[in-house]
Amino acid sequence: MSIAKYGRFRNLKTALQGTWRVAPASLYKQPGLTAAQRDDELSKSDLLSPTATISVPSAGVRNVVPLGRIKRTMEIRRAYYLSSLTYCVDDSEPKFAEFGDARLLISNPQIFGQRVCAAAQAVHPSWLAFFAPVFYYDPDAGHPEFLLSDPPEMRDTLPWRLKEVKYAWQREWRFIWLPDTELTGKLPPIELAIGAISDIAVLERLTAALGSGCR
C-alpha cells in the first residue's frame, strides 16, 4: 500500500531530496489557504446526543436536562506540529489539486515512517509523537471520547486526530508532535533531515486525469 503527499512541485522536490517540512498546527487556520487545506486544527466542536444531561457528581447534581443540545468544544491549548499524508492514491480525487501541482507517491510507508520518526527524534527527543489516521466526524452527530479500535495507549490522542466529515475525502494519515514545553509566538516550520527518499518515492506532476473519487 502506498501513501502520498500532495503539494507544490518545488516543495515536494525538496522533500524527495531529503528535507521534510513540518508545520505548526496553527498554520492551517490562515485565510490564504484553499478550502481543502484550511481548518482550525486547535479547536473542534460537536453537538452531544439529544439525550445528554448535565451532572456534577461532587455537587450532588444529577441528570439536569438542558434546553436543546449541549455543544462541546475541545480546544487544544498548546501548539503542536503536524504533517499530513493521504492513503487515497488512486489518481482519483480532483480536490487534491487544491494542495498544489504535484504529489510525492511513497511506495514504502513503513520505511518512510521510520525515517521521519528518526529524524524528528534526533531534533526533539523529548517531544511526544504519534502517527495515526484522522478520525472524521459529523459535528451534528458528535464524536466518541476515544476509538475502541485504538490500542489503549492511543485512546487519549483523539482530539489531535479529529476533522469534520467534509474533509473525509482526504483520507488523511497524520504525523503529530507535541512539544514538551509551551511554545509561544510565531512558530517556524521544522525541517527534518530524513535523507533522500528517491529509493521509496517518486515525484509526479498532477494531470487532468484526477477525478473519479477516492473510495
The residues that touch other proteins, with contacts defined as CB under 8 A, are 1-3, 48-49, 51-78, 87, 109-110, 113, 117, 121, 126-133, 142, 145-146, 148-157, 159, 173, 178, 180, 182
C-beta of 161: minimal distance to other proteins in Å? 10
Q: Which is nearer to other proteins, 127 or 167 (CB)?
A: 127
Helix (H) or strand (E) holding 185: none
Minimum CB separation from other proteins for residue 106, in Å? 8
Asked if residues 26 and 187 have their Cβ atoms less than 8 Å apart, the reply is yes
Look up residue 167 and give its amino acid: Y
CB 133, min distance to other proteins, A: 6
In the complex, minimum distance from the CB of residue 141 to other proteins, in angstroms, rounded to a whole number: 10
Q: Residue 99: phi, psi to the nearest 5?
A: -85, -20
Q: For residues 112 and 56, what is the distance between their CA atoms, to the nearest angstrom?
A: 47
* In the complex, least distance from residue 176 CB atom to other proteins, rounded to whole angstroms: 10
What is the nearest approach in angstroms of other proteins to the Cβ of residue 112? 9
d(CA 196, CA 168): 30
Q: Which is nearer to other proteins, 39 or 150 (CB)?
A: 150
Taking the least distance from each CB to other proteins, the nearer of 2 and 92 is 2
**Nearest residue (CB) to other proteins, 59 versus 209:** 59
* Set of cell numbers at residue 66: 438542558
Task: Compute the Cα dihedral for 161, 167, 188, 192 and give only its sign.
Answer: positive
Closer residue to other proteins (CB): 40 or 101 = 40
Phi, psi of 107 (to 5 degrees): -90, -15
Contact 19, 191 (CB under 8 A): yes
Give 55 or 198: the residue with its C-beta nearer to other proteins.
55
> Is the Cβ–Cβ distance between 25 and 126 less than 8 Å?
no
For the chain, report the end-to-end CA distance as a whole number of angstroms.
14
